[in-house]
A and B are shown apart, each in its own frame.
Chain A
């Protein structure tokens, strides 16, 4: 089935290009997650950092930070990580087919 094999090979290479592009975009985003806590009815935003075994929350002041932009970046970061995970799984499936 040369056509099918050729198509899968093409898709495999496309998968690698996609992973490459999304990885590059991920590198340009802040690596730490943004979380929020509700304290006495008000929302407070924090950048989460893991230092060794400890998790440290750094408060993000709305006066000094564009919270909406940071939340958007964080959502994009999470989305890209999910996308890369899916692409990686697909890459493994295709590699198995091509090796057979």
Chain B
């Protein structure tokens, strides 16, 4: 299972502590764990994840309208599956056949799915988005991010991560590569948000 999901959101920022040095302090994280499942047909042999999670003590909750699944563990965790929105698709919730669940489909996470990084954390190999791309995505979604406090929280994440990204050649290179792959419209958004929010980002070529 671990090779097929990326951990995103505030828990990805916690996991970046295993990538950066000890001076990196992640932003506050909440009890919700967002799991990005980019390749909805992998593994090829489907997993009965619902049964496995129930056996592991999770409670499975379904949204009565969309049937999107959340997994609850005690008062500790709420796990939600997200996936990419592909092509012209607009369905807010789609099936993930590989695990027999329905997840939220968001176009905003597509960029994260395209740049996974394997991180070694406490003897586990976990997929997270490249930090540079994580930051880039936060900036790109800023104009339409709701509610307002999440906009602010995202900016804090960007400000907290960017100095570390600048200092590591791989991460800086990743940033430049991701930026060079943006459309003109996306570049325009990046520049505008960086200026409006006084973000110290590596110079755009």
Contacts and interface: CB of A to CB of B under 8 A. Distances in A.
Interface stretch (A3-11, A39-47, A52-60): A3-11
B150 interface: yes
Contacts of A18: 72, 75, 78
Interface residues of B, number: 18
A20 to B, nearest CB: 8
A2 interface: yes
B153 A6 contact: yes
A21 interface: yes
Interface stretch (B28-36, B92-100, B162-170): B28-36
Interface size class of A (residues with CB under 8 A): 10 to 19
B52 interface: no
Given A3-B152, A6-B149, A25-B59, A17 B78 contact: yes
9 contacts: A3-B152, A6-B148, A7-B149, A11-B30, A14-B78, A17-B72, A18-B75, A21-B61, A86-B75
Interface of B: 28, 30-32, 59, 61, 70, 72, 74-75, 78, 147-150, 152-153, 156
